[in-house]
Amino acid sequence: MTIRTYWQLDPAAEHSRSEPADRPRWQPVIRDVRNASINRYDHYAQIARGAAITGFDGLFIPHRDAHDDSQIIAAVVARSTPRLALIPEFPASVGSAVYAAKQAVSFQRLAHVRLGWAIAPDVDAKARARGGDHVPDEELVARTEEFLTVARGVHGRHPFTFKGRFFEVERGGFEEPLNRVAFPKVFLRGNSEEAVALSARQADVHLFDAAPIDALRHAIEALDRQALSAGRSVEFGLLLSIAARESEAEAREVGGPNLTGSYDSVAGRLAELAAIGIRHFVLSASPSFEEVYRIGQFVLPRFRAATAPARAA
């Protein structure tokens, strides 16, 4: 089974970088030729190309309410990264499930079938109200489920008719040539029982948050069981922040990340996670641009070597 590695392109990370309004002003005697057309998106595109060049399989773009929209970023960088899988995260409150599916299909058609859909975890009621979303707490899971059911329905069937609590379609569904491309893989996340149960019914890939390896093993077994009884299979992934350095001592100087260590030890820990069934690794480190090169160049080759038998299997 193939192992996939994704780099996290976080729109909120190092948010002043390449932001025209935040540039320190140079002394007038020094000529600065940058205009406003050189901006944050050039930086996103460089991180994306960095991920592609250093051998990552894809880009995971988290939803950050105060920052650039993940789906816009995914499309803007798509044409300069021909093979990279692009997985923008967005909330199920974006609007019509039919329209979301239609956009996904266009992306698949126009950008070589490499879109993933990550549904953002629901925020609290107050934050939802700020975003014009008034679905009550107890109906959020049902809304996400309907959203995915309708989106997959109009993609996979014609005519498709559905009447639910949140969405209604009559004789819908895409026709030729829109229906020729695959629906994006759906990534759901969270370590709660509720999140795991939803993934068993709806996710293609479930992304766990970092946790001790035994806890992850149990969570994987639980999800696997539930998915099996729903007649489905779900792949497992993990969101991990990393500090990898030439030596353990240097890595320890970086506080905070889930996984710190030398290149060898980080690769070894990733391989242990692969051994318990994790197949999708969403890695992040700061600063994103420099670290995608470091981790791509020094950690990924070691990780690949350590998991070579698993990859062949």
Q: Kindly state the helix (H) or strand (E) to which residue 74 belongs, with its residue range.
A: helix 70-78
Residues that bind other proteins (CB under 8 A): 15, 21, 36-37, 39-41, 45, 65-69, 71-76, 78-80, 90-91, 93-99, 102-103, 105-107, 109-112, 126, 129-134, 150, 154, 167-172, 174-178, 180
**Burial class, 172, CB count within 10 angstroms (exposed 0-12 / middle 13-18 / buried 19+):** middle
Nearer to other proteins, 115 or 278 (CB): 115
Q: Which of 78, 65, 62 is nearest to 282 (CA)?
A: 62
Nearer to other proteins, 43 or 201 (CB): 43
Nearer to other proteins, 29 or 66 (CB): 66
Q: How far apart are CA 34 and CA 20, in angstroms?
A: 8
Dihedrals phi, psi of 206, to nearest 5 degrees: -105, 125
Q: How far is the CB of 213 from other proteins (least distance, A)?
A: 37
Establish whether the linkage from the previous residue to 159 is cis, with ω within 30° of 0. Answer: yes
Q: How far is the CB of 71 from other proteins (least distance, A)?
A: 7
Query: What angle in degrees, to the nearest 10, is found between the helix axes of 213-229 and 263-275?
Result: 30
Q: How far is the CB of 226 from other proteins (least distance, A)?
A: 30
Q: How far is the CB of 215 from other proteins (least distance, A)?
A: 34
Nearer to other proteins, 6 or 160 (CB): 160
Q: How far is the CB of 20 from other proteins (least distance, A)?
A: 10
Q: How far apart are CA 141 and CA 206, in angstroms?
A: 15
Q: How far apart are CA 166 and CA 158, in angstroms?
A: 20
Nearer to other proteins, 3 or 169 (CB): 169
Q: How far is the CB of 159 from other proteins (least distance, A)?
A: 9
Nearer to other proteins, 135 or 276 (CB): 135
